[in-house]
Structure formats: C-alpha cells, structure tokens
C-alpha cells in the first residue's frame, strides 16, 4: 500500500537529520518521510574547527546521507527547496520537481550574511570561515599560505552573529598550533566578539564562564576585545566601530546569520531576519502544518546587549528541537500526546576544544538569566578528550541512523 500522507523535511544537518530519523521511527508505513538537501553528505560541523590545521580530513567528519536514510526507510532527495507554496502545500526544488506535504519541517540552517560587513568572508572579502565544509577546506588552504609568511591573527564573531563557540574554539586551536610551531611571538592572536564580555556565549554567561575564558586567554596570550563591532575589513587590516584598526595576516570571523532565501521570500512565513517564528510545539503560529527546528527558527536574545548578539542554537539544541518536532507531527497524524517545550526552558550543552584542553558547559533554562548563571561549567585537559569522544560517538551512531542513544 502506498503512503497516503507525507512529511517533508527541508535540510539535513543536526535538526533535520534527527527529525527525519525520529519521524520514520514513530510513524507507520502509511506516512512517507522525505528529506530535501542539496548536500549529499552530513557534516559534523563541530569538527570543522580542526580541518584547517590538518587535524581532520573531510571524509573523517562526514557521511553519506543517502545510504543512512535508505537503511531506515526515509526517502532522500539530493536537491534544494527553491519555492514554498503555503496555500497548496507544495515545495518546488531546484531540480524542477514538486513535492506536496501534509506536514513541513523547516530545518534549513542559516544563510551566512557576509555582505552585512564590507570585506567580510572568503568569497568577496578577506576573512575565512569554518561555518561549512567548503569554507573550512579553504580556511586550511589559507592557513598553509599563512605559515609561509606568518603575522598577526584576528579571530571572532561579528555583530549579529550567534555562533560564538566556534570562534572560541578556532582561536584556541590556532594559538595551540602557533605555539607548537614556535610562532606565538611573531603571530599574536586577537579575539573580537560582539558579546558584552568574554564567556557570555550569547546567553549572559554560565556560572563562572567569564573568568574561565579570561584565564585561558591570559595563559595563552590571546587579547580579547568584547563589545566589538566590525566596521570594515580590508586586505590586511580590520577596522572596528571604535576606530581601532587591527592588522592581520590571517583572520577567521563567524558572520551574522539570517534565514535562507527560500524561507525569507515566502510572505507571512518568516520574521524580518528570515527566521521561522514558532510556538511551544515548534509549529508556525499562523501555519500549524509548518514546523521549524534548529538554526532556522527565531529565538529572541534574553537581554539587549550594547552590540547586537544572537542566541546560539547549538547542535544539541537543534537535535532536541528536531526530536520534539517528530513527537508532535506523529501526534498530529496518528494521535497521541503532544510535547510542549518552550524555548526558554531548553538546555544548552557545549564542548569547546582548545587543542590540549577545553571548556564544557551545560546551561538549563537558556533564556532565564537567574537559572542559567547556576549552570555547570568545567575546564581543563578533560574538555579536549570529552569532545574527541563525543565526535566519535555521534558520527558512529548517526551514520547508522541511531538517534535513541
């Protein structure tokens, strides 16, 4: 018997992958699960901070999506969504196909908005990125050129950005590599961030995260500049809104994020930044057949900051959203209890590697400052080993389509 209902998932990173696999597990054969993604392979994005330094190869941090989904009975279409018709409940792909849906999951991830800052980015600018696999590979090519002619380094997250962990990890790993090569004195590292203080992470800080980050930076000789907004990047220097100019031979800056074009272009679907508004079940408030998960959803910062900062949506948070979406769609289509999960009640877990040490934190009730400041933070060499172990565990289980562990 052919399926008479279809759930269509747009995107297959942390949110989309886990949503699709959990949907397949929960739904009976009469519901078809289809995933659209222009990328044929899943990328474990937390490992991309290691690629530029030759510590990982692309094949070590990716796996084939088609075979994983086929193993679990999910239909994978290696094409991007090019248009969404909310009235007809149809998605058009860039390959000319069209898919109707009973439920739609928007898990597209972000658009990297390099154009918001003149000179930013690896394509038309002067900075590197580790936000996707292609950028990380190119950052490695730039790193090799840098080693032949080293000098000052600038790393950080731009105003409007929300992925702070990656820039901290990159700065710490880069300085570790410089120290190993005896280049620390000729290549000083400066860290610029929109956060109001180091260790803020877009959440207001977790326990004593500020002092732990500061001690780690001091020990490694990294200068941290908080409340930094980047005015312009030129070929060999970065100008901040404060007027300070930072020379560099190598720079990696995480850009601002917006929603992707296919979501931004649909009237009534996204907020002005292109992110999907959601309720406590991760449904769109005006289109209850549309769900969202991961970086694609709209989350307001817990407090206003001097320089605009976004709320991080870690891989763990994205996975939690995806699994919650699966519960609620299964309840919609086949009956059962729905799961309400207000965003402010979510937990955030993050593992920041520093080359030979690291920081691990867990924050509960991420948008509640009072509870968050009592979160758990630990740092030291075990932080490095925890992330290595998690990388192996995650890639091993998800490659086989296992999400329950």
- The residues spanned by each domain of the chain are 5-111+258-345, 114-256
- Rounded Cα distance, 41 and 37, in Å: 9
- Read off the tokens for 159: 């105003």
Rg (CA), the chain: 21
CB-based contact 365:344 (threshold 8 Å): yes
Task: Give rounded-to-5 percent helix, strand, coil for the chain.
Answer: 35, 25, 45
Residue whose structure tokens are 């840098």: 146
Is the fold of 5-111+258-345 the same as that of 114-256? Answer: yes
pLDDT for 405 equals 64
- Rounded Cα distance, 260 and 78, in Å: 17
What is 191-218 written as a DSSP string?
A: EEESSSSTT-TTTT--TTHHHHHHHHHH
Whether residue 131 lies in the annotated active site: no
| CATH level 2 (architecture), domain 5-111+258-345 | 3-Layer(bba) Sandwich (3.50)
pLDDT for 374 equals 58
How far CA 165 is from CA of 144, 286, 297, 310, 386, in Å, comes to: 24, 33, 19, 12, 15
Give the CATH H-level superfamily of domain 114-256: FAD/NAD(P)-binding domain (3.50.50.60)
Sign of the dihedral defined by the CA atoms of residues 321, 155, 212, 47, in that order: positive
- Rounded Cα distance, 291 and 251, in Å: 37
- Read off the tokens for 186: 């000729």
- Rounded Cα distance, 163 and 334, in Å: 37
pLDDT for 2 equals 57
All residue ranges of the chain with pLDDT < 50 are: 1, 371-373
pLDDT for 369 equals 59
Helices (H), 27-159: 65-72, 133-148
Residues facing residue 271 across a β-bridge: none
pLDDT for 229 equals 97
- Read off the tokens for 35: 């995933």
In terms of Cα–Cα distance, which of 259, 245, 290, 344 is closest to 87? 290
Cβ atoms within 10 Å, residue 98: 12
- Read off the tokens for 65: 């999506």
Which of 34, 36, 350, 360 is an active site residue? 350
- Rounded Cα distance, 332 and 335, in Å: 6
The pTM for the full model equals 0.94
Helix or strand holding residue 5 (H, E): strand 5-10
Which of 33, 82, 163, 187 is an active site residue? 163
């Amino acid at each position: 018997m052919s399926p008479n209902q279809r759930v269509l998932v747009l995107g297959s990173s942390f949110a989309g992958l886990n949503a699709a696999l959990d949907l397949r597990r929960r739904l009976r054969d009469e519901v078809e699960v289809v995933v659209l993604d222009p990328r044929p392979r899943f990328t474990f994005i937390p490992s991309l901070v290691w690629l530029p330094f030759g510590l990982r190869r692309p094949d070590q941090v990716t796996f084939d999506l088609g075979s994983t989904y086929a193993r679990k009975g999910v239909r994978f279409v290696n094409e991007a969504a090019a248009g969404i018709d909310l009235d007809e409940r149809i998605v058009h792909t860039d390959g000319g196909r069209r898919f109707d849906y009973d439920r739609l999951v928007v898990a597209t991830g972000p658009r990297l908005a390099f154009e918001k800052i003149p000179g930013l980015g690896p394509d038309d600018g002067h900075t590197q990125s580790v936000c996707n696999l292609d950028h990380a590979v190119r950052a490695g090519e730039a790193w090799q050129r840098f080693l032949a002619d080293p000098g000052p380094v600038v790393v950080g997250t731009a105003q409007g950005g929300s992925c702070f962990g990656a820039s901290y990890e990159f700065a710490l790993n880069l300085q570790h590599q410089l120290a190993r090569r005896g280049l620390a004195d000729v290549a000083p590292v400066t860290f610029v961030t929109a956060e109001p203080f180091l260790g803020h992470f877009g959440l207001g800080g977790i326990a004593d995260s500020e002092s732990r980050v500061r001690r780690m930076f001091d020990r490694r000789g990294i200068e941290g500049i908080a409340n930094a907004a980047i005015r312009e990047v030129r070929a060999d220097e970065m100008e901040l809104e404060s007027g300070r100019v930072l020379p560099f031979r190598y720079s990696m800056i995480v850009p601002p994020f917006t929603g992707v074009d296919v979501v931004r272009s649909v009237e009534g679907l996204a907020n002005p930044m292109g992110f999907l508004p959601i309720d406590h079940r991760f449904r769109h408030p005006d289109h209850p057949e549309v769900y969202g998960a991961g970086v694609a959803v709209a989350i307001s910062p817990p407090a206003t900051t001097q320089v605009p900062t976004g709320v991080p949506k870690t891989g763990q948070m994205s996975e939690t959203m995806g699994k919650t979406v699966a519960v609620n769609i299964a309840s919609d289509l086949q009956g059962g209890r729905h799961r309400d999960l207000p965003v402010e009640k979510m937990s955030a877990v993050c593992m920041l590697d520093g080359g030979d040490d690291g920081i691990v934190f867990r924050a509960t009730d991420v948008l509640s400052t009072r509870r968050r400041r009592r979160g758990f933070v630990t740092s030291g060499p075990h932080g490095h080993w925890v992330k290595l172990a998690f990388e192996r565990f995650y890639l091993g289980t998800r490659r086989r389509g296992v999400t329950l562990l």
